[in-house]
């Protein structure tokens, strides 16, 4: 118990001292996840909305596939990305393996089905009068879409926050395609794993604390929004 207590004390001191390595990994984790989630939202929100408003043969299967993809293990996504981006892979020519961009690509694959599925659920549950009223008041396709997003904004925000929480805390993709290179691809999760395995328990704990803080902040924000929806 004393070992854990001592580790926590040192971890707190590292966080408040502003350790360069820790801050570097934290900053990288955040920008990579933000960028991946931004790309996933830019593509996933239109697709989720389209799936919610259109009927076509096989739609149920497509929706189920996206739901299933939400549970993909990150190490599996990392493996697929590795196969695609490695020198022998079809995208090997891009030479992005072991760069932050490879992690962005992997996290995009992680976030995309989350945003598609959750936004599909949020927009699909909107009253049919939203679409009819907007249409009768002269809204074109794009204006109707922005109206859906506005009416389902809590659900849509929850979708984006959930995707971000999953991305910023994942380990498998960052480890497989990022390679945990110091100063280049080291993120909070990979650094936490590395430092702990090297016996630097306090440093690992410090990074874990930052990770936990980010995850808790997002969870609290999501919880606050859900409560607002209920009320």
List contacts with another protein (CB under 8 A).
127, 129-130, 132-140, 143, 147, 150-151, 153
CA of residue 39 relative to chain centroid, distance: 10
Given the complex with another protein, which of 93 and 138 has the nearer CB atom? 138
Given the complex with another protein, which of 71 and 136 has the nearer CB atom? 136
In the complex, the smallest distance separating the C-beta of residue 27 from another protein, rounded to whole angstroms, is 36
In the complex, the smallest distance separating the C-beta of residue 225 from another protein, rounded to whole angstroms, is 14
In the complex, the smallest distance separating the C-beta of residue 151 from another protein, rounded to whole angstroms, is 6
Rounded to whole angstroms, what are the CA distances from 120 to 6, 70, 109, 160, 175?
47, 13, 17, 12, 31
**Minimal CA–CA distance to 15: which of 189, 208, 180?**
208
Between the two ends of the chain, the Cα-to-Cα distance in Å is 43
Tokens 């707190």 — which residue?
12
Given the complex with another protein, which of 55 and 197 has the nearer CB atom? 55
Given the complex with another protein, which of 79 and 154 has the nearer CB atom? 154
Write out the two tokens for 49: 């909305």
């Amino acid at each position: 118990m004393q070992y854990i207590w001592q580790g926590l004390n040192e971890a707190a001191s590292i966080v408040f001292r502003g350790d360069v390595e820790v801050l570097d990994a934290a900053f990288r984790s955040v920008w990579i996840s933000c960028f991946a989630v931004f790309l996933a939202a830019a593509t996933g929100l239109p697709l989720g909305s389209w799936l919610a408003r259109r009927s076509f043969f096989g739609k149920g299967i497509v929706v189920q596939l996206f739901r299933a993809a939400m549970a993909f293990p990150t190490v599996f996504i990392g493996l697929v990305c590795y196969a695609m981006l490695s020198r022998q892979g079809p995208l090997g020519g891009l030479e992005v393996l072991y760069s932050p961009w490879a992690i962005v690509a992997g996290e995009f694959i992680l976030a995309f089905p989350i945003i598609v599925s959750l936004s599909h659920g949020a927009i699909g549950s909107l009253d049919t009068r939203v679409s009819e009223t907007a249409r009768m008041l002269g809204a074109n396709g794009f204006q109707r879409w922005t109206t859906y997003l506005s009416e389902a904004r809590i659900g849509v925000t929850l979708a984006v926050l959930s995707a971000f929480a999953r991305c910023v805390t994942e380990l498998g993709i960052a480890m497989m395609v990022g390679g945990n290179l110091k100063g280049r691809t080291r993120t909070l999760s990979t650094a936490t794993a590395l430092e702990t395995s090297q016996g630097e328990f306090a440093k690992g704990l410090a990074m874990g604390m930052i990770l936990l803080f980010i995850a808790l902040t997002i969870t609290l924000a999501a919880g606050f929004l859900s409560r607002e929806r209920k009320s």
